Each structure stands twice: as C-alpha cells, then as structure tokens.
Chains A and B, each alone.
Chain A
Amino acid sequence: AQTVTQSQPEMSVQEAETVTLSCTYDTSENNYYLFWYKQPPSRQMILVIRQEAYKQQNATENRFSVNFQKAAKSFSLKISDSQLGDTAMYFCAFQGAPYFGNEKLTFGTGTRLTIIP
C-alpha cells in the first residue's frame, strides 16, 4: 500500500516571500501521479499542480512549482511571491497508474499554510 507523509503540520510566511512544503511517499510502483491540492476554509479541494512520475521535468503552474525527486520519493511544492489567498491547508496526494484500476488518491495529513500580511 502507498503512504504519503507530510512532516510540517503548520507553516507561516510573510506575504511576497517564498515557501516550500515537503512531501515524501512510499510506493513500489514505477508509473504514478503526484498532486498538490489546496483546501481553503470553504472545504473545496482545489488542484494546484500535478506531476507524472515518468516525466523528469518538474511541473510548474505560474507561482507554483514542484521539486520531484523520484529516487528519493520526495515531492515538494514551492510557492513563489506568496499571496494572502494562498492561505489554506495543502495536501500532497498519490495516485497509482489508472490502467491498473488503482485510481484512488492517497492523501497526506496536510500542511496548514498561513500567509502573513
């Protein structure tokens, strides 16, 4: 079974600064997907970024980028020029290759990020 570990329960950073959230995972699979989801107080899980394990290039989405280290099973999220709207819980999630029928997301316990004005 896959496991996802987020070792930072809470983080805070000044507005406009850069922050990095950590995530490690354990799997015996070679092909899989990794995600960062954001959950604001409204409770809706919002996709931030997705990484495909067979792609060596790190995914980026505007101010959000990842550092994917497949051998180390590490998947960190960097938020640049942080904004007040980035305040939320951030969840790292693992998904096995869908053609094996293992489509469920396995989530970590989350990191509560607060952006300070």
Chain B
Amino acid sequence: EAGVVQSPRYKIIEKKQPVAFWCNPISGHNTLYWYLQNLGQGPELLIRYENEEAVDDSQLPKDRFSAERLKGVDSTLKIQPAELGDSAVYLCASSIQGGIQYFGAGTRLSVL
C-alpha cells in the first residue's frame, strides 16, 4: 500500500513569488494534516482536515497561507507571496480519525 505522497520534494523560489505543495494521503484516511518544520525544530501543526472540512486552522497564517482539500482526498497548501522566513520543510500526514499519523517525505522550500 502506498504511503503519503508529497510533491515536489524540493522547491526554490524568490521572495514574493507564489508556491504550492501537494499531498496525497493514504487511501481511506479521512484526516489530513499539514505541519511546518523549521530547521532544528519539531514539526508544528498548520491545519487539520476531517474529510473536506478544515477543523483546526488556528496556526495557519491566513494572510499569506491557504489550503484546500477538495473531495476529501488530495490537499494543496499555498503560500502567496512567499517570504524569506517561510523557508522550511512542509510535512503532510494522514490518519484514520483518532489513529496513528503517517507522514510523507515533505517538501523542502527555500525562499531566496
């Protein structure tokens, strides 16, 4: 069975440019998470979806970040415009509700 798939693996952009990350969760997992991992730190939750509904987005900087999970499967996280401080690893995870979270390999974003 395929795990959580994220793309791209790496992204380099100039500041003020837009960027998008894509996540395909494990089949059957209704809960999807986006985490932000800064260098030398543990991941921190940005947003959690239950099916199509964003049930916890309290840590998502809504002035520049947006996310969607159409049809309750794949999800996209977008940053517009990107800032230098957004350079980090963006991790996606999925789970059955209340179950163990399984992570993808993440997208490493570098903003120049």
Distance to closest chain B CB from A83 (angstroms): 22
Q: What is the predominant secondary structure among interface residues of chain B facing chain A?
A: strand
Q: Which of B45, B95, B100, B106 contacts A44 (CB under 8 A)? A: B106
Residues of chain A at interface, number, CB under 8 A: 21
Task: Tell me which of B12-20, B21-29, B35-43, B75-83 binds A.
Answer: B35-43
Q: Taking the nearest CB of chain B, how far is it from the CB of A84, in angstroms? A: 21
A45 touching B100 by the CB < 8 A rule?
no
B109 contacts A by Cβ under 8 Å: no
Residues of A within 8 A of B104 (CB): 44
B91 at the interface (CB under 8 A from A): yes
Chain B residue contacts of A46, Cβ below 8 A: 103
Question: Which B residues touch A105, using CB under 8 A?
Answer: 35, 43, 45, 101
Would you call B85 an interface residue if the criterion is a C-beta within 8 Å of the partner chain's C-beta atoms?
no
Q: How far is the CB of B24 from chain A (nearest CB, A)?
A: 14
Q: State which residues 49-67 of B face A: CB under 8 Å.
A: 55-56
Q: How far is the CA of A12 from the CA of B13 in the complex (A)?
A: 36
B48 at the interface (CB under 8 A from A): yes
Show the binding face of B for A, using Cβ within 8 Å: 31, 33, 35, 40-45, 48, 55-56, 89, 91, 93, 95, 97-106, 108
Interface of A with B (CB < 8 Å)?
Answer: 4, 37, 42-47, 50, 91, 93, 98-99, 101, 103-105, 107-110
